[in-house]
Amino acid sequence: MMDSEHNLNTENEIERPQVSPAVIRRLPRYFRYLRELIREGKMRISSGELSERMNVTASQIRQDLNCFGGFGQQGYGYNVNYLYAKICDLLGVSAGLSAIIIGAGDLGRALTRSTMFEKRGVDIIAMFDVDENLIGKTIGDVLVYSMNDLESFFETHTVDMAVLTLPKDQAAVEAERLLELGVKGFWNFTGKELSYASRAIVENVHLGDSLMFLNYDICRLKEAEEKTEAGSDRV
């Protein structure tokens, strides 16, 4: 029997109430799993079934979604396509956001060629660099401009966010420059911790931190295995 969910929200627009950052951090997981369900042709799902896939409790799922009004129907569960569309709205997938990449090095080029932005509704409209060998070239479908052309580019284009892949020592200066031009948010890969309070949203990405979390967990696993082996030898 399907789990009991709250009444189906039939509003066309979603309000974005103030909710816990932890809930917001889980929304992209819902986005990914719901997209997989759509690919499988799944039309509806209960919170219990979704919890098994996502490895979180059904109660947690209901609590998360209830923060935004709840999208389920008692005795039915969740309409997968409807819930996916609402999660996309919450995450701005359909908002038509545009981005530029500052730094056309290895990471910048890899990000430009990725389908990640397109799948999440972000349009990469330009790259910027100081390397004369890269300026004027097209990477993927994106043209590389000179950093000297930044201000003139903003005169004719709307840019919501900047992806920073430039050297760490240049991050703060160029970010301030972009703030003055009206950028609303930064996806920052430079290793320099940036924070602008109410002026802009910053997502500081530290790839090394993720690797070290993995290191830690592997070491714990190996220690546990060694203790188990040592215990077996004493038997």
What does the pLDDT look like over 185-199, one tens digit per residue?
Answer: 999 999 999 999 889
The pLDDT value given to residue 23: 87
Joined together, the tokens standing for residue 185 give 């948010």
Pairwise CA distance, residues 2 & 44, whole Å: 10
DSSP secondary structure, 87-151, as one string: HHHHTTTTS-EEEEEE--SHHHHHHHH-SHHHHTTEEEEEEEES-TTTTT-EETTEEEEEGGGHH
For the chain, the domains span 21-90, 97-204, 208-235
pLDDT at residue 101, rounded to an integer: 98
- Do 21-90 and 97-204 have matching folds? no
| Fold for the domain defined by 97-204 | Rossmann fold (3.40.50)
> pTM to 2 decimals?
0.82
Q: What is the pLDDT of residue 38?
A: 95
d(CA 198, CA 95): 21
CATH of the domain spanning 21-90? 1.10.10.10
Low-confidence stretches of the chain (pLDDT beneath 50): 1-13
Report the Cα–Cα distance between both ends of the chain, in Å, rounded: 48
120 within 8 A of 98, measured Cβ to Cβ: no
Q: List the strands of the sheet with 77-79, edge to edge.
A: 44-45, 77-79, 72-73
